[in-house]
Structure 1
Amino acid sequence: MTKLQLITSELIGHLERLSKDASEISWMTAFTMASGVRKVSPFLKEAASRGTTIKILTGDYLYVTQPEALRLLIEELPQAEIRIWQSGGASFHPKAYLFRGKRDNHTLIVGSSNLSRSALTTGVEWSLLAPSEADQGVFEEANDRYLELFYHEVTVPLNRETLAEYERLHKEANQSKPISTAWSEAEETELMLGPGESQEIAETAETYSAEPLTPRPAQEMALNALRATMEEEYDRAMVVLATGLGKTYLAAFFAANFRRVLFIAHREEILLQARNSFLRVHPGKTAGLFNAAEKKTDADFTFASVYTLGSRHNMEEFSPDDFDLIVVDEFHHAAAPTYERVLDYFKPKFLLGITATPDRMDNKDVYAICGGNVAISIHFLEAIERGWLAPFKYFGVYDDTDYDAIRWLGSRYDEEELLVAQLRDEFAEKIFMAWQEHKQTRTIVFCSSIKQAAFMNEYFTANGIRSAVLHGRTGKEDRRSATGRLETGRLEVIFTVDLFNEGVDIPKVDTLLFIRPTESLTIYTQQIGRGLRLADGKSHCVIIDFIGNYRNADVKLAVFDESGTYGEKRGRFTEPAVPAVCEFNLDLSVVNLLKEMAKKRAPRKDALVAAYFELKRELGRRPDYLEYHLQADADSRAVKQEFGSYFGMLAYAGELDDEELEVWETYRDWFIEVEKTGMNKSYKMVVLLYMLSRGLKHWTDPVTPEEVAPFFHRYLMEKEYRTRADLSDKTGQRLIEYDETRTADLIAKMPMTKWSGSDRTGTISFENRSFSIRVKNGSGLSSRVIHDWTRQIAVYRLHFYFEKKEA
């Protein structure tokens, strides 16, 4: 057996040798220097030319990584996938080099060498080379952990946009606080330990009394919806079931219709729990794991880690048509690159996405993946009204922390500055008093960081409370022990960081305490679900939520609004309408704060703009309107409310050049008309789409209903969901079989006459069977911009219209 090998110098030679035979190269270094990139780029370029997959993850910790090095990576390795870990001040200090070779001949190198000339050649660095012959499982586990970090939510792809942003931050950081050559003992300890991983605890087995298992009411509703979906010949669908309604068992019951099933998730614990659930429903079937430790490929039910399956080498262990049904758990993750590669490879008879996150703004990026088909969505408020989940009593407590004074890093607050504000005895006392006033028996407290959780735990313990801290660095046995003690009442409180989000079930938890700024509405919704499960002796859940002037404070309450219209009325704050069995209480100071935010609405505008820039960083270019709707972590409806148009938002964000800005200011009324004209049917935008299809020079030329008719009919008939939405009623049924006269008459009566009659800009007219748009076509770039922006709005509105019809 090949043994481990210690490397104390000239690591570069080993990297070059291993790159020659690798099918996948995956590197991760805390710091990257231009000198190191110049050393490795020749043989990495050669590997890329052979079709080798190359991934490189580097970090921004202390802004040591050189912008020049990142620029070289973009220029020298355009085929490589490169991402930056945004540390937010927390330590990021790994150095690992993975090579997947032929015939299971893989190599892992872990040590002290960053990507610099000195570290790779003559510097004093130690590394351990571990060939897979020594331990195959170690390499596969390392590969899984690498992919978890590579596609972690705090990473961004390296492209021109993110490079420019890094250059600016690098310059600012090194002007205000030059990089120190010496770290304190505490800093050195943290550097060596590295960041904690976000981990979740799997749901405990659901309590069915006896065999045979039968679906619960919510699951039966979902199964009926899925049967209807299959009868309509859909081959994919998404099901949104609020936490506690048994989405995993739903998937197991649905699996009875299929021969072989692939269940994909991003957490090991979720896979194990899902396997147990499926076998309880189907005791005669076989089940196997496909993860770092085990790779069973012939079972009836295969439960796969997306990180293991995301490797091309592992994916090709299966044929694309091996599975009749693929189930993707926590489907709101499915737009991530790892999932996309897997879903692009496999060709199942049916794809089922399941998620417990009902907020549409967090699911819309996966709309295209499920073919626009949301089979059923049961919001937690509906589940409460039906008696399937516990009601809640919500208490919004005023947090007087000045979050405006804390630096915002694009997606979260600066960790060190936030800690200064949070680790105050007076703040801890206020939290403790609010908890004492409203608490019940078992509490989960959601914190921003490990340091905050430890600080609050010490404060509660000093006041005689039985409490504990759980986070990603806590061992599995300690986590199980703590959750078990909370369940039995031996613990009163657990302080946690990014642990109780997905796939957690402690039914007896009856109090939730939020002492962190809400940054993600998805995670906030998942965390609320932790307290809503039914349990013996539990009448309701208490939610204690500290609300300050942090970002998203004025929109977070949208998760309590099932209609999806919360916050649409500008300048006004209203409390969400919750079920009668629930209570919603806000401190007067909170009400005043939210009213003030509603008047200014700057936080809402800023959130929309921040989502735009986040997506721009991800794409490396300006996203178009539909891309923003589908992929940005924002509700695109708010764009129209706040800015009049998507392009109004770009003007507000400083994203338009001088000529584009002039186009916006000159043609603002036209763009807003296209954005806001009423659409009971899709017909107006279909007519506009036809006019735009005639090209840059002629799109504003007058058109007759007869000319539009063939395009109009073809557009509505080419997709079943369009036909179902707009040709299935009395108005449209006669158009199923194409007849030019009937189609032209409908076009004249519906979109053309109605649009010209409702237009207040004087732009639209319809006279003597001639439909006109009086928009002066500019010259050169202006003309192209007007045409392109009009097309973007029309495409977005059509997509949004049919999306709502299918939801």
Structure 2
Amino acid sequence: MTKVTLITEYLGEELIPKIEKADSVCVLTSFVMKSGVQLLSEALWKAVERGAEVKVCTGDYLYITQPDALKMLYEIHEKMEIRLFRSGGKSFHPKAYLLKEKNANTLFVGSSNLSGSAFTTGIEWNISISENHEVYEQALNEFSKLFQHEQTIPINKESIHTYEKEYREYHQRNPNIIHTWTSAEEIDLMLPVRKKNSEFVVENKEHYGTIEPRFAQVEALNQLEQTIEEGYNKAMVVMATGLGKTYLAAFFARKFKRVLFIAHREEILHQAQASFNKVIPDKTSGIYNGFLKEDGDFIFASVFTLSMKQHLQHFKRDEFDLIVIDEFHHAASQSYQKMIDYFQPEFLLGITATPDRNDQKDVYAICDGNIAYRIDFIEAVQRGWLAPFHYYGVYDDTDYSQIRWLGSKYDQEQLLQAQLKEEMAQKILLAWEEHKQTRSLIFCSSIRQANFLSQFFNRSGYQTVSLHSKQQDIGRKEAINQLEEKKLDAIFTVDLFNEGIDIPSVDTILFARPTESLTVFTQQIGRGLRLHSSKSHCVIIDLIGNYRNADIKLSLFQVELKKTKNRKIAPVIPESCEFNLDIQSINLLEELRKKRQPRKEKLKNAYMQLKEELGRRPTYQELFLNGTIEVIQYYKEFKSYFAFLHWAEELTEKEIELYIRYENWLKEIEKTGMQKSYKMIVLLGMLKKGKHNWYRSTTPEEIAPFFHHYLMEKEYRKRIDFSDKSSRTLWKYEEKKVANLIAKMPMSKWSGSSQGMISFEKNIFKLNFDVLNEDEDILFHWTREVCEKRLMEYFARKGE
């Protein structure tokens, strides 16, 4: 029976005893004060030691959170998960405490932040809600989404150091803010609360007709069957938006009894359930998210819910025969990794339209290097499976260089100052009027911009709506129906249509926002490329200004600007498509390339961003997997990762001496060519001898067992580098044959290309330099970093 209690003082006395008994503790607070951490630290430590899952999410809004409080939180226990919401000036005011023990749960929500006064004698109003499973699960679901939000960062030594610097600078500029922040909070609390929008948009059944595989689905299914025959139990399928990835998963699922489908948006779950029900109507299905806990043969689960320990362990490790992960490019994030590590299905299938590193993560290793099928939208258009497009790049004279850049996006308030102008709206309207067709989807960077532009278009005689998470006047289904029936000319939106929702009849896409991510740009273009009887092609209208990454979109069309008198461009697109840039846009893109942020500083900024996330210096592999800039750029500029670290002043005094001493070796292992993986496998075999012996001479016979095992250990390695005619005979290990291959190829070729640094004579492979005893440990680890990174990069590239 639900119990509701009003608590107006001494919240800590209610909270602490429950923390000490809880199996799960989730804290969501606008800010954190040292006094609050001191009160809760012992109880939190006891909870973690007892095996409880403890998560804390706080924010940087107005820089109220004390850096010392973050340090204290971080030092309570290494197994606590703490994240900071980077508000970018957006108000952040939640205060909630979620506690679960066995079959009981309590939600505290109200006015108390994590501070001493809020927990004791301060004037606070909080509600305690006990034994209401539905409300608790709803709160837990919302907490999970916020905890894993793209604007949150993990708290560690590096992120605390960065925050501390920003905190000091902010309060130097705003010395009175610490006293006036409550006024700002009161203003925000008076804003209207949005009502819950529970509508889910499901594709119209008639779009696919008979529910049988078609187009790319047929090819992909054949490749998946072959994958299973070859012994793989994991695979990724990359299919352009609009080719029916969800239906493909449903067709593939017909051969499995129990299936788990995981997605990160509620709309996708319901849409996927509907698609599976059409393809396999004789199976039962259920939704498993923050609101529903249904059972069935096929379960459609929210990643935010399933990533919570209590929900994950609700299922047995081998409960599912098939697990499908939608939008697989997210799969390397921590929340997905928990599920991938926990479950043991017969087969894991990842599906995505955009495997490019949206989250700056690499998913190649997760599917054991097996990309079963891949087709991008250019090829799909060429084969007639997606609609042709006519692209128009329109010049935008907004000066984005005056808008503050926050690492991954522009400061929203400063961006809005530029966007919410009648003059800007008029230019967007004119570009749209010149090129539009009948049904338009217009992407904006914020809700306020979407509302502003919709109102401007309506005053100009058009019928439009702004559709987003806070819209109350019209539902998504109604808006989509009105657009399809031409009762609306356009829908302005922010990100509702990035993944999972389609309006096949849309024939015009307009970008009224800066392109900050190639992945998002690709997803949004895909919303207009679905085939439909009412359209011959899709018009793409794109505003091009001097914003960061403005030219990134050109890589999607493989466009290069030629340095000719007439500024000729050469896009790689099907004959049925058009690509048009006005002359001002061409001039701007050329100018941007000349004035691009100095490359070295750009590389350092990307490196520091990753260092802050990890809380320590990244290894070379981590930079390759998680960095926002491809590692080849570091090599092009510095010739080795450690040369970059030296320039960036990231090496200790001892490491600097060592780098100077072995600079040529470090650059050699970076630059040596790799037509095959063999050289680095030889080096890895040497490294297996340990830090005291790895650099000593060796023979092909000594390396042969490791060399053979490494290539045969993983199916994708064997397929890529050990399955041609000359090497297939070596699948059965014979020392003499393997040793002959090693002598003939990696050892002889590396000796010949290393300019004397390596020699191979009389069957002895030798490094021609000495290693000091005091250098052994660091040089061993540095060499291994480069070797393992190069192998990982090689197989990822060759596999694709």
Q: Tell me what 2:609 maps to.
A: 614
TM-score, normalized by length of structure 2?
A: 0.93
Q: Tell me what 1:300 maps to.
A: 297
8 Å CA contact 1:262, 1:301 repeated in 2: yes
Q: More deviation in 59-68 or 500-509?
A: 500-509
Deviation track 1:422-475 (CA, whole Å, cap 9, x = no partner) reads 223332232222222222222222222222222222332232222221222224
Alignment CA distance shift 1:606-1:597 (3 Å): farther
Aligned-pair CA distance for 1:574: 6.9
Alignment CA distance shift 1:707-1:660 (3 Å): same
Secondary structure, in 3 states, of the residue corresponding to 1:228?
helix
Residues 290-689 of structure 1: pairs in structure 2 closer than 5 A: 290-297=288-295, 299-359=296-356, 365-475=362-472, 478-561=475-558, 576-599=571-594, 602=597, 608-661=603-656, 663-664=658-659, 667-689=662-684
Return the match for 1:275 from 258, 269, 273. 273
Give the whole-Å Cα distance in 1 for the aligned partners of 2:395 and 2:640. Answer: 34
Secondary structure, in 3 states, of the residue corresponding to 1:96?
strand
Q: More deviation in 515-524 or 388-397?
A: 515-524
Aligned-pair CA distance for 1:373: 1.3
Give the whole-Å Cα distance in 2 for the aligned partners of 1:633 and 1:189. Answer: 37
Give the whole-Å Cα distance in 1 for the aligned partners of 2:666 and 2:445. Answer: 42
| Residue 262 in structure 1 maps to residue 260 in structure 2 | yes
Q: Tell me what 1:88 maps to.
A: 88
Aligned-pair CA distance for 1:531: 1.1
Alignment CA distance shift 1:390-1:648 (3 Å): farther
Aligned-pair CA distance for 1:119: 0.9
Q: Tell me what 1:723 maps to.
A: 718
User: Which one-letter code corresponds to 1:348 in the other structure?
Assistant: P
Q: Tell me what 1:707 maps to.
A: 702
Q: Tell me what 2:157 maps to.
A: 160
User: Which one-letter code corresponds to 1:688 in the other structure?
Assistant: L
Secondary structure, in 3 states, of the residue corresponding to 2:536?
coil
Alignment CA distance shift 1:502-1:642 (3 Å): farther
Aligned-pair CA distance for 1:16: 1.1
Q: Tell me what 1:788 maps to.
A: 781
8 Å CA contact 1:597, 1:603 repeated in 2: no
Secondary structure, in 3 states, of the residue corresponding to 1:28?
strand
Return the match for 1:240 from 238, 241, 255. 238
Q: More deviation in 545-554 or 631-640?
A: 631-640
Query: Number of residue pairs matched?
Result: 795
8 Å CA contact 1:236, 1:371 repeated in 2: yes
Q: Tell me what 1:138 maps to.
A: 135
Secondary structure, in 3 states, of the residue corresponding to 1:258?
coil
Q: More deviation in 145-154 or 271-280?
A: 271-280
Residues 18-29 of structure 1: pairs in structure 2 closer than 5 A: 18-29=18-29
Give the whole-Å Cα distance in 2 for the aligned partners of 1:693 and 1:586. Answer: 55
Q: Tell me what 1:121 maps to.
A: 120
Q: Tell me what 2:764 maps to.
A: 770
Alignment CA distance shift 1:34-1:99 (3 Å): same
User: Which one-letter code corresponds to 2:123 in the other structure?
Assistant: V
Alignment CA distance shift 1:494-1:644 (3 Å): farther
Aligned-pair CA distance for 1:779: 6.0
| Residue 190 in structure 1 maps to residue 188 in structure 2 | yes
Alignment CA distance shift 1:173-1:672 (3 Å): same
Identity over aligned residues, as a percent?
A: 54
Give the whole-Å Cα distance in 1 for the aligned partners of 2:585 and 2:636. Answer: 24
TM-score, normalized by length of structure 1?
A: 0.93
8 Å CA contact 2:201, 2:477 repeated in 1: no
Residues 790-805 of structure 1: pairs in structure 2 closer than 5 A: 790-805=783-798
Secondary structure, in 3 states, of the residue corresponding to 1:93?
coil
User: Which one-letter code corresponds to 2:287 in the other structure?
Assistant: L
Aligned-pair CA distance for 1:202: 4.3
Give the whole-Å Cα distance in 2 for the aligned partners of 1:245 and 1:362. Answer: 23
User: Which one-letter code corresponds to 2:112 in the other structure?
Assistant: S
Aligned-pair CA distance for 1:662: 5.2
Secondary structure, in 3 states, of the residue corresponding to 1:578?
coil
Aligned-pair CA distance for 1:192: 5.6
Aligned-pair CA distance for 1:776: 4.5
Task: Could you tell me which runs of 5 or more consecutive residues in structure 1 were left unpaired when the two chains were aligned.
Answer: none
Aligned-pair CA distance for 1:540: 1.4
Aligned-pair CA distance for 1:345: 1.7
User: Which one-letter code corresponds to 1:692 in the other structure?
Assistant: L
Secondary structure, in 3 states, of the residue corresponding to 1:766?
strand
Give the whole-Å Cα distance in 1 for the aligned partners of 2:514 and 2:217. Answer: 34
Return the match for 2:216 from 209, 218, 230. 218
User: Which one-letter code corresponds to 1:340 in the other structure?
Assistant: Q
Q: More deviation in 636-645 or 519-528?
A: 636-645
8 Å CA contact 1:60, 1:86 repeated in 2: yes
Aligned-pair CA distance for 1:347: 1.0
Give the whole-Å Cα distance in 2 for the aligned partners of 1:296 and 1:14. Answer: 33
Give the whole-Å Cα distance in 2 for the aligned partners of 1:576 and 1:305. Answer: 39
User: Which one-letter code corresponds to 2:335 in the other structure?
Assistant: T
Aligned-pair CA distance for 1:658: 4.4
Q: Tell me what 1:107 maps to.
A: 106
Aligned-pair CA distance for 1:693: 2.9
Deviation track 1:268-321 (CA, whole Å, cap 9, x = no partner) reads 221111111111111111111222232223x11111122222222222222111
Alignment RMSD: 2.8
Aligned-pair CA distance for 1:713: 1.9
Q: Tell me what 1:288 maps to.
A: 286
Give the whole-Å Cα distance in 2 for the aligned partners of 1:258 and 1:623. Answer: 41
Give the whole-Å Cα distance in 2 for the aligned partners of 1:86 and 1:194. Answer: 23
Deviation track 1:563-606 (CA, whole Å, cap 9, x = no partner) reads xxx89x9xx99754222222222233332333344446537666
User: Which one-letter code corresponds to 1:217 in the other structure?
Assistant: F
Give the whole-Å Cα distance in 1 for the aligned partners of 2:404 and 2:198. Answer: 27
Secondary structure, in 3 states, of the residue corresponding to 2:366?
coil
Deviation track 1:613-671 (CA, whole Å, cap 9, x = no partner) reads 33323322222122222233443334333443333444454433444455555654443
User: Which one-letter code corresponds to 1:721 in the other structure?
Assistant: Y
Aligned-pair CA distance for 1:210: 5.4
Secondary structure, in 3 states, of the residue corresponding to 2:90?
coil
Aligned-pair CA distance for 1:75: 1.2
User: Which one-letter code corresponds to 2:300 in the other structure?
Assistant: F
Give the whole-Å Cα distance in 1 for the aligned partners of 2:188 and 2:483. Answer: 30
Q: Tell me what 1:33 maps to.
A: 33
8 Å CA contact 1:675, 1:793 repeated in 2: yes
Deviation track 1:354-395 (CA, whole Å, cap 9, x = no partner) reads 112143676852222222211111111111111111111222
8 Å CA contact 2:236, 2:349 repeated in 1: yes
Alignment CA distance shift 1:714-1:601 (3 Å): farther
Alignment CA distance shift 1:183-1:40 (3 Å): closer
Give the whole-Å Cα distance in 2 for the aligned partners of 1:632 and 1:191. Answer: 38
Secondary structure, in 3 states, of the residue corresponding to 1:238?
strand
| Residue 691 in structure 1 maps to residue 686 in structure 2 | yes
Task: Could you tell me which runs of 5 or more consecutive residues in structure 2 were left unpaired when the two chains were aligned.
Answer: none
Give the whole-Å Cα distance in 2 for the aligned partners of 1:645 and 1:538. Answer: 52
Alignment CA distance shift 1:179-1:63 (3 Å): farther
Alignment CA distance shift 1:735-1:40 (3 Å): same
